[in-house]
Amino acid sequence: MLKKTIFLGITFLIQISLWGQIEFNNYKTIRCSGTIPKDFSQLTTDKISEDSQERRENLNKTQEKIFLEGIHYGIDGLLHSGLVIYGDPISEYVENIADKLLAKRPEVRKKLRFYTLKSNATNAFSTDQGIVFVTTGLISQLTNEAQLAFVLAHEISHYTEKHVVATFEYKTRRTQQDDQIRQLSTYSKDKEFEADSIGIKLYYETGYAKEELTPAFDVLMYSYLPFDEIEVPVNYFNNEYLFVPENLFPKKKYEIKAIENYDDTRSSHPNIKKRKSHVEESLKNFRNWGDQIFLLGEDRFHYIRNLCRFESIRTDILDANYVDALYSIFLLERQFPESTYLKKMKAHCWLGMAQYKHNGSISDVVERNSELEGEIAALHYVIKKLKNEALYAFALREIVDIRKQLPPSDEMNEIYQRMLHVITTSKSFDLDKFSDKTFSEAAEEFLNSKHSDTNKVEVEKSEKLSKYDRIKNKRNKTDPTVFDSTKFYYYCLSDLIKDTLFVDAFKSMKDSISQVQDQRDRYYAMSYKERLEFDEKNKKEKTFSDFILVEPIAISYKKGKINYESSEKMEEDYRSAINTTASYFDYSIYNLNSKELKSIGTTGFNERSILSNFLMQMTQDTEIDILPVDYDDLRAIKKNYGTGKVIFTIVEHTYAPRVSPRALWFIFYPPGFLSYIPIPFMTGNETELNLIIVDVEKAKIEESVSYYFKEPMFKQILEARMYDIFKNLNSNTNY
Amino acid sequence: MRNLIILFLICFFQLNLNSQTNGYFGKKFILESNLMFYNPCLYNVASYMDGSENYKSSGDSYKIANNRLDYGYRLDFGFNKRRNSAIHLEVGQEFFSFNPNFKYSYVYDGFTSYYAEEVKVRSLSFMPKIEFTSPDGLLPVGLYNQIGIGVNYYRPLIKDYSLIEYGSNSVTKTSELFNPEFKSKSISFLYKVGMRIPINKSMLFNFGFRYLFTWNIDKYMLGESYAESKYLLSNYSMHAMINAKEIRKIMLFETGITFAF
């Protein structure tokens, strides 16, 4: 019996470890699972009315209204941002740690809910509603479960001590999500010390080891660095075809500048040194400490941390932090060298960097020299140093190699095609300049030619050449004497130069791009009347029939601040206007919005999150034809709904009549002032409507509409606008 | 006038009806009917400063009261040429009155001085207009601006007008206050700012403010003198007084319904 049990146990363990390994090799971003928690599905207005039953003694009615609106709309915005997940392994793990921490306080435990926030910020924060958010960035930085337990204990203390209500800023209503998160995780120094003290008690009672407490603050101090500090070897990029000289890497190490005892007089948080001292003082209050570091098991912690680290790559790519993602890939490749996911993400990074370089905005992707710290600095340094054609060649090389290594897939084909598009549209990329020899072959040939007899003859000949012939010779790549080791990238595509398939594909794309460019130039040279006639002749075939509508956003401002009630009504009107108008054109609309979560379920919520993340990725730089990080998931959505056309839209409205200071001139003609007065009131409406239709299969924006108009916000006006948009969808030409 | 209408018709038929989709739910034509009100406060103030009072007939008697409200109605036919511009033709009638004693103190028949009761006038106007809005506008919906040049034809109301003898309060009636054949015309320059709010798919509620600069262009401006007239108010005086009234319009409030088709 015992033998059988041991055998079963071993088999189970092997299966678990194998499963884990396979999971990371074919990793897919974590999604929500199970039933939708009430926090996600309940309407904000209902939450506010429920919450207003509980009287907050310290607040007057106005403050209470501002507080409830602030926290509920703010948190609901975050919950529906597509970045928060529930029922996933990470959230479950965090819940399990909370179970341990609050084993003796079931009444508190019952009130708390824990969700994972996909963000690379090292953060955790609790809300007055009893929600604790833990970021994937935080877990990926931790070294053990005990540290996470302390962070959770600290956040639970903020909740139990009602710190949110005490530090809420009643005078400012945050509009940006980052601001809201910052506000929710910012307390006064006293509150931080208090949360540390109470947190330590919880931590102590659970039996965790005290030795892990102060290192938890190191996590905080170095949280701006990647989740590990390992040197990138100078031969990291080298392979059969690609050779990168050492001098491309920085000669010096970039020191880590973080200090414990920074000036915290202007900060809401006490500095790390003070917090460490305070914790060390608090430790003295407790005797007989436990020695647990992993109550839920070390393997599980490492598994969860790896999930978070894999997620951090995806988050970095979403945020266009390609170099950071590349460094994380480098770190994880050591543990998962065969991971398909890491390889694909690496291809995404190289494509993204090439596209940013092509767009002239590479500085958005790499850090400034003054900001470089630690080992990751080497990667930033190298990428920054690469000239356009060098970076394109690097990217193409990497993408081609990864494509060869992986089984054929649409995603890799798309990455390859887009990379081809970058090089074919780039003025600085000339395929003729690239050598059909590898760097080592060319170098060897060069050295041989230096020492050969023929070289002597060549040298004699060369002595007799004119300045201009020498220049021409130097520029002739076929001449081995012009081997230039600084142009090492000219030798990294030697196999592709000889590959007729590649060369043909390159030429054919270049030709078709130049044809399109010519057609476009001709179109813009036409007169208005000619364009109308051209448009009429070349009307697009009807390509739109069904749409997925992702959460139309409506924001109404009053005196510069968001008016939540009016925004909610406007959002309802807008949604209804889109649906009603679409029916005039026989378009079917599939609504994926937070108000209908009960009907769309967790599957719909996941799809909505994927689409929202796609939008987030696209908006990093709208001029770049970015490839979605969740490429396969988006295609699955198309398959599910039978349409890949997704509408994202936002409408913002404010009414702010502005009396011009020039009206003072009416002092010389007072009746003129009477005439002038209605004008600012009539023209005080300002509305901005933005709508894009994205084809998720092509991962491209199909249509984009941006209107700024001075109209009040009525449902009928929104309907008229939507009618106009839908009507014009099928009448536009390709230009 | 005829030239203006011809010009308008030429513009109208030269439009490219197949241009980019525009209008309200794709409807490019509009018919608008508006009521118009204004308070001639500036005129009243000027009248007060002039020291001349406005007399209103009240049966066999009279009362002194300022005119509080002038009014009119307008019919407007428009075509949305583009999303943010349109052309309109407007026809309207206005009803107002002026104080015949204003600026000219009193009416004199060669023997006795009188104060005359206010003279009611009806004007008929035609005005081609250009409507425009912000580049992203979607006419006829929402905020719009209009500019236009039009002509107005004036006819005073013919009836027996009351005269109040200067120094006594006795009221007499006369049919010879002004020439019953009198008519006049003026040219108007318009700027209007308005708003149309949809009610349903073919009807919109419209409101706005009109600013008019009206200038008398009639031949009488140069013609007949007071002494030559057999009426208490010469044609020249009538013109001048209508002009005085028109030029003091500060702004007119207008509201109505717009039909899109």
Q: What is the pLDDT of residues A587-596, one digit of tens each?
A: 899 999 888 8
Encode pLDDT of A666-688 as tens digits.
888 777 787 888 888 888 899 99
At A730 the pLDDT is 64
Strand partners, B184: B154
Compute the average pLDDT of residues A458-469: 74
pLDDT confidence of residue A368: 80
What would the mean pLDDT of A627-631 be, rounded to a whole number?
92
Q: What is the largest CA-CA distance in chain A?
A: 106
Query: Residue A204's CB: how many other CB atoms inside 10 A?
Result: 20
Q: How close A620 comes to chain B (CA, Å)?
A: 25
Which of A290-304, A482-496, A609-623, B218-232 shows the lowest per-residue confidence on average (mean pLDDT)?
A: B218-232
Q: Can you tell me the mean pLDDT for B107-131? A: 82
Cβ atoms of residues A328 and A226 within 8 Å: yes
pLDDT at A73: 87
The answer, yes or no, to whether residue A538 has pLDDT greater than 80, is no
All residues at 6 or more sequence positions from B55 whose CB lies less than 8 Å from its CB, including other chains:
B62, B63, B64, B99, B101, B115, B116, B117, B118, B162, B164
| Contact check, Cβ <8 Å, A682/B18 | no
Q: Are A190 and A166 in contact (CB under 8 A)?
A: no
Residue pairs between chains A and B whose CB atoms are closer than 8 Å: 84
Burial class (CB in 10 A: 0-12, 13-18, 19+), B8: middle
Contact B195 A709 (CB under 8 A): no
**Burial zone of A688 (CB within 10 Å; 0-12 exposed, 13-18 middle, 19+ buried):** middle
A interface test, pick of B17, B19, B25 with most A CB neighbours within 10 Å: B25
* Nearest CA distance, B195 vs chain A (angstrom): 7
B131-134 long-range contacts (CB < 8 A, ≥24 apart) are B131/B78, B131/B85, B131/B86, B131/B87, B131/B88, B132/B84, B132/B85, B132/B86, B133/A709, B133/A710, B133/B84, B133/B85, B134/A708, B134/A709, B134/A710, B134/B84
Q: Which of A595, A543, A532 is nearest to A567 (CA)?
A: A595
Structure tokens at A287: 């005797």
B38 touches chain A (CB under 8 A): no
Give the whole-angstrom CA distance, residue A509 versus residue A528: 31
Q: Any idea which of A619-628, A661-670, A703-712 has the lowest mean pLDDT?
A: A661-670
Q: How confident is the model at residue A220 (pLDDT cuts 50, 70, 90)?
A: confident
Is B69 an 8 Å CB contact of chain A? no
Mean pLDDT of A110-121: 94
Percent of chain B clearing pLDDT 90 (strictly above)? 28
Does pLDDT of A120 surpass 50? Answer: yes
Mean pLDDT of A612-626: 87
In contact, A651 and A685? CB cutoff 8 Å: no
pLDDT for the residue B220: 57
CA distance A475 to A488: 15
Assign B19 a pLDDT band (cuts: 50, 70, 90). Answer: very low
Is A118:A315 a contact under the CB 8 Å cutoff?
yes
Q: Retrieve residue B224's tokens.
A: 């007949």
pTM: 0.81
User: Residues 6 or more apart from A59 whose CB is under 8 A from it?
Assistant: A67, A165
Structure confidence at residue B7 (pLDDT): 46
What is d(CA A437, CA A678) in angstroms, rounded to the nearest whole number? 76
B132 CB neighbours in chain A (<8 A) are none
Q: Inform me whether the pLDDT recorded for A281 exceeds 70.
A: yes
What is the full DSSP assignment across A315-336? HHHHTT-HHHHHHHHHHHHTT-
Q: Do B138 and A724 touch (CB under 8 A)?
A: yes
Say how far apart CA A242 and CA B71 lie, in whole Å: 85
This complex has an ipTM of 0.78
What is the spatial distance between Cα A439 and Cα A375, in angstroms, rounded to a whole number? Answer: 27
Question: Residue A240 burial (CB < 10 Å; 0-12/13-18/19+)?
Answer: exposed
> Touching check for B40 and chain A: CB below 8 Å?
no
- What is each CA distance from A541 to A236, A512, A546, A694, A696, in whole angstroms? 50, 21, 15, 17, 19
Cis preceding linkage at A89, omega within 30: no
**B150 class by beta-carbon count within 10 Å (0-12 exposed, 13-18 middle, 19+ buried):** buried
Beta bridge partners of B169: none
Return the top range by mean pLDDT from A2-6, A395-399, A450-454: A395-399
Quick check: B142 and A710 CB within 8 A?
yes
The answer, for B14 touching chain A at a CB cutoff of 8 Å, is no
SS3 per-residue string spanning A343-404: HHHHHHHHHHHHHHHHCCCHHHCCCCHHHCCCCHHHHHHHHHHCCHHHHHHHHHHHHHHHHH
Q: What is the pLDDT of residue B9?
A: 44
pLDDT digits (tens, 9 = 90+) for A701-732: 888 888 898 888 889 899 988 988 888 776 65
Could you give the residue ranges of the DSSP H alpha helices within A547-659?
Answer: 564-584, 597-618, 631-641
Across A182-186, A344-348, A583-587, B17-21, the highest mean pLDDT is recorded for A344-348
**Amino acid occupying residue A385:** K
Calculate what percentage of chain A has a pLDDT beyond 70: 88
Mean pLDDT over A93-105 rounds to 95
Selected residue with higher pLDDT from A729 and A451: A729
- What is the C-alpha to C-alpha distance for residues A440 and A475, in angstroms, rounded to an integer? 20
Which tens digit of pLDDT belongs to each residue from A502-534? 999 999 999 999 999 898 889 889 888 888 888
> Does A712 contact B197 at a Cβ distance shorter than 8 Å?
yes
* B199 contacts A682? CB cut-off 8 A: no
Question: Distance from first CA to last CA of chain B, Å, rounded?
Answer: 28
Picking from A278-292, A429-443, A446-460, A602-616, which range would have the lowest pLDDT averaged per residue?
Answer: A446-460
Counting residues of chain B whose pLDDT is more than 70, the rounded percentage is 84
How high is the pLDDT of residue A459? Answer: 66
Q: Which among A708, A711, A727 has CB closest to B26?
A: A727
* Distance in Å, alpha carbon of B6 to nearest chain A alpha carbon: 24
pLDDT at B246 exceeding the cut of 60: yes
Contact A710 B25 (CB under 8 A): no
Query: Is there a contact between B137 and A710 if contact means CB atoms under 8 Å apart?
Result: yes
Residue with tokens 């009307």: A539
Which residues on A lie below 8 Å from B209 (Cβ)? Answer: 675, 678-679, 682
Nearest C-alpha of chain A: how many angstroms from B49? 15
pLDDT at residue B3, as a whole number: 53
Residues 6 or more apart in contact with residue A182 via CB below 8 angstroms? none
Of the two residues B92 and A178, the one the predictor is more confident about is: B92
Q: What is the 3-state secondary structure (H, E, C) of B15-74?
A: CCCCCCCCCECCECEEEEEEEEEECCHHHHHHHHHHCCCCEEEECCEEEECCCCCEEEEE
Tell me, what's the pLDDT at A3? 54
Average pLDDT over residues B96-111: 68
What whole-number percentage of chain A has pLDDT above 90? Answer: 43
pLDDT at A390 exceeding the cut of 60: yes
Q: Distance of CA A690 to CAs A647, A655, A725, Å? A: 10, 18, 11
Name the residue with higher pLDDT: A368 or A244. Answer: A244
Higher-pLDDT residue of A278, A580: A580
CB atoms within 10 A of CB A555: 18
Query: Dihedral sign, CA of A465, A466, A469, A475?
Result: positive
Please check whether residue B16 touches A, CB under 8 A: yes
Q: What is the pLDDT of residue A268?
A: 64
CB A709 to CB B19 under 8 A?
Answer: no
Chain A partners within 8 Å of B136 (Cβ): 706-709
Q: Where are the beta strands (DSSP E) in A477-626?
A: 546-558, 561-562, 588-592
Task: Return mean pLDDT, chain A.
Answer: 85
Residue A576 has pLDDT above 90, yes or no: yes
B138 touches chain A (CB under 8 A): yes
pLDDT higher at B60 or A203: A203
Residues with Cβ within 8 Å of B209's Cβ and at least 6 positions away in sequence, in order, are A675, A678, A679, A682, B192, B193, B194, B251, B252, B253, B254
Report B:74-93 residues touching A (Cβ under 8 A). Answer: 83
| Radius of gyration of chain A, Cα coordinates, nearest whole angstrom | 30
End-to-end CA distance of chain A: 76
For B162-214, the pLDDT digits (tens) are 888 777 777 788 888 888 888 888 899 999 999 999 998 889 999 999 988 88
Alpha helix ranges (H) inside A260-338:
272-283, 298-318, 322-333
Asked if the Cβ–Cβ distance from A711 to B142 is below 8 Å, we say: yes
- The reported pLDDT for the residue numbered B131 is 93
Q: Is B198 on the interface with A (CB under 8 A)?
A: yes
Q: Note whether A637 and A697 are within 8 A (CB).
A: no
Please report the pLDDT score of residue A13 as a whole number: 46
Element (H, E) at A413: helix A410-425
User: Is A720's CB within 8 Å of B193's CB?
Assistant: no
Residue B227 DSSP code: G
CB atoms within 10 A of CB A22: 10
Chain segment A327-363, per-residue pLDDT in tens: 999 999 999 999 999 999 999 999 999 999 999 988 8
Q: What pLDDT is attached to residue B231?
A: 78
**pLDDT at B223 > cutoff 70:** no
Residue A170 above 80 pLDDT? no
**Structural element, H or E, at residue B153:** strand B142-156
Smallest Cα distance from A708 to chain B, Å: 6
- Give residue B226's pLDDT: 54
Which position has the higher pLDDT, A194 or A400?
A: A400
pLDDT digits (tens, 9 = 90+) for B51-62: 777 777 777 777
- Kindly report the length of chain B: 261
Q: Is pLDDT of A735 > 50? A: no
Q: Quick one: tokens of B248? A: 């003091």
Residue B13's pLDDT is 43
Output phi, psi for A723, to 5 deg: -60, -45
| Local confidence band at B4 (pLDDT 50, 70, 90 cut-offs) | very low
Least confident of A109-113, A179-183, A414-418, B67-71: A179-183
